[in-house]
Amino acid sequence: MHAPDLFERTFPGRRSDLKRSILREALACFNEVGIEATTIDTIRARCETSVGAIYHHFGNKEGIVAALFFAALEDQAALRAHHLEQAQTAQAGVEALVRSYVEWVDAQPEWARFVFQSRFAVANGPHKDELLTRNKQRNRQLTEWMSEAERREAFSHIPPELLLSLIVGAAESYARAWLSGRVKNSPIDHAPLLAQAAWASISQTRP
């Protein structure tokens, strides 16, 4: 048996075949021509289903965008949780966050491209409240991990809203360059350096 892909992991079972088909074709369309230029009819034609079936499962195009975006975030969070569970120190946790991020981008480049282009639309669209709720749930494990005394002390001098930007900011910037073809090597090739830079940015901000 083949390993399940992201669609199958997030929407498992034969009863989700049509939903997965719609989302696969929608993801391809969004990455090929952009979210704005993609229409429900374009997606319908590619997955050979009816407009009614698409609306039944997702409500509208914004619902499709949100479903894909949330699926990507959940998959990314699962990999992050796996890495973070093995980290005992603050530095190991920072390295785990960076490595999980670049591993996910390397394994899911089409999804990563979509996440970058859809983030603003979801954060400012009809599903923004759901995004806030999901983000709180998704970050609960990270918050709990950081609350242990030694780790809390290591991060206490950094404003909470700035912490993740310091940790994954460089990796995200490089990932964007790689996904757009501006650099050749995958971000995973530079994971050790990116992790070192992330830790340095935190430890060097101490007063």
* DSSP per position, 7-27: HHHHS-SGGGHHHHHHHHHHH
Full domain range(s) for residue 116 = 6-203
Least confident of 59-73, 128-142, 170-184: 128-142
List pLDDT tens digits, range 30-51: 999 999 999 999 999 998 889 9
On the question of pLDDT at 198 being above 50, the answer is yes
CATH number of the domain bearing residue 69: 1.10.357.10
Residue 126 falls inside a structural domain: yes
The answer to whether 22 and 43 are in contact (CB under 8 A) is yes
Residue 195 falls inside a structural domain: yes
How many domains, in total, are found in the chain?
Answer: 1
Range from 47-56, 147-156, 181-190 that averages highest in pLDDT: 181-190
pLDDT of residue 76: 95
Residue 1 falls inside a structural domain: no
Which two structure tokens, joined as six digits, stand for 137? 């749930």
Pick from 149, 161, 165, 166: nearest CA to 203: 166
Q: How confident is the model at residue 114 (pLDDT cuts 50, 70, 90)?
A: very high
* For range 138-147, the mean pLDDT: 85
Task: List own/partner pairs for 33-39 with CB under 8 A and 24 or more apart.
Answer: 34/117, 35/61, 35/65, 35/117, 35/118, 35/121
pLDDT of residue 146: 83
Rounded to whole angstroms, the Cα distance separating 130 from 4 reads 26
On the question of pLDDT at 1 being above 50, the answer is no
Note the pTM of the prediction, 2 decimals.
0.91
On the question of pLDDT at 207 being above 70, the answer is no
Range from 145-154, 157-166, 175-184 that averages highest in pLDDT: 175-184
pLDDT of residue 99: 97
* For range 113-123, the mean pLDDT: 96
On the question of pLDDT at 193 being above 80, the answer is yes
